[in-house]
Amino acid sequence: RDRTTTRPREHTIVVSDPAIIRSALIDHADAFSNRPLPRFPAGRPITHSITSAPYGPLWQGLRRNFTADILHRSRLGVLTPLEREAAAATVASLSAQAGNNGDVVIRNTLHGAVLALFARLCFGADDDNGMDERALRTVLQMQQEFLSNFTLVRATDRSWLTRLLHWRRRRRHAGVFDRIDEVFIPAIMARRRRRSRDGVCGDGFRSYLDSLLELDIPIDDDDDGRARRPLTDEEIGFLIWEFLSAGTSSTVTCLEAHLAAEPGIQDKLHREVAAHHLRSMTGTAASELHLPYLHAVVLESLRLHPPVPFVLRDVRAEDVAVALGEAAVPPGGASVSFVLGGIGRDREVWTNPDEFRPERFLEGGEGEGVSLVPGPKEIKMMPFSAGRRHCAGVAMGMAHVKCFLAEFVRELEWAPPADGSGIDFTELDEFIKWMKTPLRVRVAPRLLK
């Protein structure tokens, strides 16, 4: 079986042509199913996460547990009340923070709320799930530190000189991983105690942690996973870190980009959402309701501002040559970087691609039927990537974004800041496409108008 290497490849190939991306990720999926392994501090079980496990029985087991058990579509309705509570708390907090003129910077509040929601899905829905406000603040800091150093650490990985020059930031980045055990292991132990005291899930809510406590993984990925063992607490801690981090920043980035939408679009969205009395509906995920305009707004935003700008693969030389036609790949193989950012703005596919026009995704529009994760047909956008390693949280990501957005436009009116400074759409050139200047908006309660 093809294995990925822990040594950074000397050679990186950047691919932005959608036809070649499709051919590599879908037609040559066997060769393009491993990510380059990051250099994490020695001693970490770096391959024991969905994102870093090589394609094989371990990855299959971890991913199946995640998608078929915890994130399965049939469970999304069960999660809706938690999503609504988180969205409502965010509305209350933003309203309270808005100054006299109504201006408020939303990113930190939103990030905290989305993280708290993921923590409940992960550790259990009760307040005493072991992740109090202090622990959540620590995780928020860890995520911010991790993301702010990620691009630099990757870029400086290749030579000892760049590693030496940037050792301080590299050390800070590695320090995040040193804190994972300290933050999560007490909560893991508390959940285990509760389960043995009160029965299987303690509070009756099957959390991601519950699934990990019950999961057996292959002892050896090379013998097709026949012999199995439970996960260690350290491995569970790392999987929890992945769960809390993989979706939080992309969900926040996605929402930030939506809320900058024009008033005309917002009013139309408000009319649709209000007509559905979303709040009174229970047991149905926002993503499952018939809200075509909400769906179109989310897709249009993902087309224009995909939160993850590129995806990486670790590939052997012969596979690169077959799939990409690269003649001069060194025998050591290559890292391939597939650029997702520009696909949705292709002028040959989209009319006036830089315009925010959700209508293109409604019936009869050029985007009707475009799928969130492209299959073997032409790729018109791919915010969640494609092929075997495409985003494992598509359904949950969409459900969260729609639920927050619906609650936001139902309760509040959003406008550019009162001081006339406008909205700066410049994105940071990093692993996650944050807006360079965190979005500041004017909010006003809708019901009082």
- Nearest distance from C-beta of residue 197 to ligand HEM, angstroms: 28
CA 106 – CA 284 distance, rounded (Å):
27
In contact, 145 and 249? CB cutoff 8 Å: no
- Nearest distance from C-beta of residue 449 to ligand HEM, angstroms: 30
Closer CB to ligand HEM, 6 or 351, in the complex: 6
Closer CB to ligand HEM, 36 or 333, in the complex: 36
Interaction of residue 183 with ligand HEM, rule CB under 6 A: no
Closer CB to ligand HEM, 271 or 377, in the complex: 377
**Binding residue (CB under 6 A) for ligand HEM from 119, 392, 409, 435:** 392
Closer CB to ligand HEM, 242 or 413, in the complex: 242
Q: Which residues from 70-129 bind ligand HEM, rule CB under 6 A?
A: none
Amino acid at 243: F
CA 125 – CA 86 distance, rounded (Å):
12
Interaction of residue 249 with ligand HEM, rule CB under 6 A: no
User: Looking at beta carbons, which residue is closest to ligand HEM?
Assistant: 393
How many residues in the shown chain lie near ligand HEM by CB under 6 A? 23
Interaction of residue 251 with ligand HEM, rule CB under 6 A: yes
CA 362 – CA 368 distance, rounded (Å):
6
Helices then strands, counting H and E runs in the chain, come out as 14, 8
CA 198 – CA 290 distance, rounded (Å):
39
**The tokens of 231 are what?**
């996960």
Q: In what order do the strands lie in the sheet with 440-445?
A: 103-105, 440-445, 412-415
- Nearest distance from C-beta of residue 419 to ligand HEM, angstroms: 30
**The tokens of 44 are what?**
């970490």
- Nearest distance from C-beta of residue 142 to ligand HEM, angstroms: 16
| Interacting span for ligand HEM (CB under 6 A) from 129-137, 221-229, 239-247, 353-361 | 239-247
- Nearest distance from C-beta of residue 51 to ligand HEM, angstroms: 4
**Binding residue (CB under 6 A) for ligand HEM from 390, 418, 432, 446:** 390
How many C-beta atoms lie closer than 10 Å to residue 440's C-beta?
18
- Nearest distance from C-beta of residue 131 to ligand HEM, angstroms: 15
| Interacting span for ligand HEM (CB under 6 A) from 217-225, 245-253, 257-265, 352-360 | 245-253
CA angle 246, 247, 250 (to 5 degrees): 105
- Nearest distance from C-beta of residue 161 to ligand HEM, angstroms: 29
- Nearest distance from C-beta of residue 254 to ligand HEM, angstroms: 4
**Binding residue (CB under 6 A) for ligand HEM from 357, 389, 433, 442:** 389
SS3 for 61-109 is: HHHHHHHHHHCCHHHHHHHHHHHHHHHHHHHHHHHHHCCCCCEEECHHH
Closer CB to ligand HEM, 295 or 442, in the complex: 295
Q: Which among 194, 62, 74 has a CA at the least distance from the CA of 123?
A: 194
**Binding residue (CB under 6 A) for ligand HEM from 123, 146, 238, 243:** 243
Interaction of residue 396 with ligand HEM, rule CB under 6 A: yes
- Nearest distance from C-beta of residue 212 to ligand HEM, angstroms: 13
Closer CB to ligand HEM, 58 or 443, in the complex: 58
CA 26 – CA 89 distance, rounded (Å):
41
- Nearest distance from C-beta of residue 448 to ligand HEM, angstroms: 31
Q: Which residues from 15-74 bind ligand HEM, rule CB under 6 A?
A: 50-51, 63
CA 345 – CA 358 distance, rounded (Å):
14
| Interacting span for ligand HEM (CB under 6 A) from 226-234, 287-295, 306-314, 347-355 | 306-314
Closer CB to ligand HEM, 188 or 396, in the complex: 396
Q: Which residues from 365-384 bind ligand HEM, rule CB under 6 A?
A: 383-384
SS3 for 361-425 is: HCCCCCCCCCCCCCCCCCCCCCCCCCCCCCCCCHHHHHHHHHHHHHHHHHHEEEECCCCCCCCCC
Question: Token match 């990093």: residue?
Answer: 430
In contact, 62 and 53? CB cutoff 8 Å: yes
Interaction of residue 344 with ligand HEM, rule CB under 6 A: no
CA 322 – CA 336 distance, rounded (Å):
13
* Footprint of ligand HEM (CB under 6 A): 50-51, 63, 243, 246-247, 250-251, 254, 307-308, 311, 383-385, 389-393, 396-397, 401
